[in-house]
A and B are shown apart, each in its own frame.
Chain A
């Protein structure tokens, strides 16, 4: 069994059996569960009272208004009545599930008129009632509801030139997934890199380092530790994802199903575009995106972890970790923010250039792959550059690590580090 494999297996098992790993993993599952549940909570609990309204007015006008207002889930009508009490009071809203407003509908001069009694005037504006426009047309022209809808419907055919996403919903879904994965990428790289950093610092400060580097090659030691931390991070992410999957069917997949249903209903009016939407099927994560995620996670992680390890090898006391962490954490944070920009403008020149810049590339190129159509040559170039950078990082970090692990006392000067690199 070679040195890297021994270091990997012992480091991996040592960490995976530790209490901190168990706690962090459980905390991660809990956090993901909470994050996944928040939108559902907001939809079903927090959002409800703000959208509750009392609808008043004569039939059949009131029924037609109720149909139009509820079609797009803009409002939840908690109570319907012919008349509102006069004068209207806040207590009336309180009595009806703390409704946000009472709306009295009537017809005046062949137009729909709304008397709105809101709890907070700022919450209700004209835009929220735009779905009632067909009713205004019906009252003005005497047309039936079916006729009005036929007139107000806009026929639209979608012909996506890049063929990546069949419709806007698929693109939005992909963007959401990309955002989530970039977030996971960021945290996974930070957590795993810091795990390597603390392992190196432990060996340095507890003075085991000297025995280790007298026994095995420092590069093999560094590689074994780095891979063990990567394995640990992957295991942790897998557990988090599995934990999240237990919650997901009730939220994201449900949302996906609703969206698919929405797309199906929309296809009535999409004409020929409907066939394109149907070809896309339900919103599932593109396997290619997952492959890109795995690939760029490995690249990004190895680049940052080796730097973190080299930085940790320079300190003599764990208290000094903060000092050396700051310079290496800044590129990760910067890369994350640039990836956010790439989420909005994936093909902007800045995003394209950033996808080849060392340490930023793993974030930005992955983001672009997830939401845009990136030319193959750009992907290949990014992979080659990242692979080269990983090799360079191991070379540089190995040199610093070899010298740094035996340096004790004050932090080495930049000149000493430079000399170590040249040695």
Chain B
């Protein structure tokens, strides 16, 4: 299990990460969310031991992350690079060897991943000659060749077309099934929402929200209700209960953002009694809504300050 406990890291006068804590169970996938400059990459680099934290601790299976432990981690940074003139198979095997694999095993595993990622035909080509999508596949192979216990992926879907993004997602699922633990960051909410089973939203170097999607939804203060048709009697029901006027919607439905503690059963019954009701949907907040709200809170605090 990965445990990040109140870590802090500054660069000169700038505090990049402030008291960040989260944990990720073995075999789990943790999504690290936040805008650019929030401190995600710095946090990931601290997990990988590239930067030591100024304070706080990071442990893997209860032990501090030293050089031996680090060998069992894999990393795909946001800014990716390859040796342009090195051949694809040699490059993948090189990174495997750097992680402690014997050369023979590294080459054998490289062949497996070349096959799996459908780039076997480029095995003897210099990396610089490959398309960007194929280069990203090579980079993924470099990161996973040694079957890491923890795989840190910084924006793994960045720059990928839908087909290659799906290949990346399939690989994550495959490795997850084999027991690999993931920490990944992404701006593609729809992908990360289905890929992760835990989230940590960071803004301005601080944790704004953390937990499973269910926990985050439970903590979300409002719910959206969509009602059709748009009848004055139904609007009156909401007005009488102090919910005011609906939010604008162009599709002829009524949309209200209501407090999470609202008695939605009573509201539904009142709406049914008020007129011919076609639909009454209570929507759970999406990850995107949770993300925006968590960071909007940060923005509001900043404005207030």
A binding-site residues for B, Cβ under 8 Å: 1, 3, 6-7, 10, 14, 18, 202-203, 206-217, 406, 408, 419
- Whether B12 lies near A215 (C-beta < 8 A) is no
Beyond A208-B82, A214-B70, whether A10 also contacts B77 by CB under 8 A is: no
Contact of B45 among A14, A214, A408 (CB under 8 A): A214
Chain A neighbourhood of B71, CB < 8 A = 215
B75 pairs with A207, CB closer than 8 A: no
A6 to B102 alpha-carbon distance, docked (Å): 10
Question: Which of A6, A14, A211, A419 is the one whose CB lies under 8 Å from B81?
Answer: A211
Q: Residues of B contacting A211 with CB < 8 Å?
A: 75-77, 81, 95, 142-143
A214 touches B83 (CB 8 A): no
Q: How distant is the Cα of A313 from the Cα of B61 in the complex, in angstroms?
A: 34
Closest A residue by C-beta to B97 = A6
Q: How far is the CB of B232 from chain A (nearest CB, A)?
A: 59
CB contacts (< 8 Å) of B75 on chain A: these are 210-211, 214-215
Is the Cβ of A214 less than 8 Å from the Cβ of B82? no
Residues of A within 8 A of B85 (CB): 14, 18
Please classify the interface of chain A as helix (H, G, I), strand (E, B), loop, or mixed, using the class held by over half of its residues: helix
A-B contact sample (18 more), CB < 8 A, given A211-B76, A214-B48: A10-B94, A14-B83, A14-B85, A202-B83, A206-B84, A207-B79, A207-B80, A207-B81, A209-B81, A211-B81, A211-B142, A212-B98, A214-B45, A214-B70, A215-B99, A217-B67, A408-B79, A419-B12
A408 partner residues in chain B, CB cutoff 8 A: 79
Query: Which residue of the partner chain B has the closest CB to A2?
Result: B100
Residues of A within 8 A of B12 (CB): 419
Give the docked Cα–Cα distance between A10 and B45 (Å).
Answer: 25
- The chain B residue sitting closest to A202, CB to CB, is B83
Partner of A206, one of B50, B82, B95: B82
On B, residues with C-beta under 8 Å from A are 12, 45, 48-50, 67, 70-71, 73, 75-77, 79-86, 90, 94-95, 97-99, 102-103, 142-143
Contact A206 B67 (CB under 8 A): no
The answer to whether A206 touches B99, judged by C-beta atoms less than 8 angstroms apart, is no
Shortest Cβ gap from B44 to chain A (Å): 9
* B residues near A214, Cβ cutoff 8 Å: 45, 48-50, 70, 73, 75, 77
| Cα separation A216 to B48 with both chains bound (whole Å) | 11
State whether A14 touches B86 (Cβ < 8 A).
yes
Q: Which residue on chain A has the smallest CB distance to residue B98?
A: A215
**Hey, which chain A residues are within 8 Å of B67, CB to CB?**
217
Min C-beta distance of B5 to chain A, whole Å: 21
Structural contact, A207 and B77, CB atoms closer than 8 A: yes
Name which of B70, B98, B102, B143 has the most chain A CB atoms within 10 A of its CB: B98
Q: Quick one: given A14-B86, A210-B50, A211-B75, are A216 and B98 in contact (CB under 8 Å)?
A: yes
Shortest C-beta distance, A307 to chain B (Å), equals: 23
Q: A1-B97, A207-B77 are in contact. Are A213 and B142 (CB under 8 A)?
A: no
CB nearest to B103 among chain A residues: A1
Q: Shortest Cβ distance from B174 into chain A, in angstroms?
A: 21
| Distance to closest chain B CB from A36 (angstroms) | 33
Subset of 18 A-B contacts with CB under 8 Å: A1-B103, A6-B97, A7-B98, A14-B85, A18-B85, A206-B81, A206-B83, A207-B79, A207-B81, A208-B82, A210-B81, A211-B95, A211-B142, A211-B143, A214-B75, A214-B77, A215-B98, A217-B67
Which residues of B are found within 8 Å of A212, using beta-carbon distances?
Answer: 98
Q: A216 vs B50: C-alpha distance in the bound complex, in angstroms? A: 10
Shortest A419–chain B CB gap in Å is 7
Closest to A216 in B: B98
Report chain B residues within 8 Å CB of A10: 90, 94, 97
Q: Which residue of B lies closest to A17 (CB)?
A: B85
Kindly list the 3 A-B residue pairs having the minimum CB-CB distance in the complex, ordered from nearest. A207-B81, A206-B81, A208-B81
In the complex, residue of chain A having the shortest beta-carbon distance to the beta carbon of B143:
A211
Determine which of A3, A208, A210, A217 lies in contact with B83 in the assembled complex, contact meaning CB atoms within 8 Å.
A208
Report Cα–Cα, A223/B175, bound state, in Å: 34
CA distance A23 to B223 in the complex (A): 70
Residue of A nearest to B99 (CB): A215
Query: A206–B103 Cα gap in the complex (Å)?
Result: 24
Contacts of B48 in A (CB 8 A): 214
Shortest distance in angstroms between A402's beta carbon and chain B's nearest beta carbon?
Answer: 9
- Min CB distance A129 to B, Å, is 64
Can you name the residue of chain A whose Cβ is closest to the Cβ of B47? A214
CA of A7 to CA of B85, assembled, Å: 16
Cα–Cα, bound, A406→B143 (Å)? 18
Cα A10 to Cα B106 in complex, Å, equals 13
A215 touching B82, Cβ below 8 Å? no
Which residues of the other chain, A, contact B79 by a CB distance below 8 angstroms? 207, 210, 408
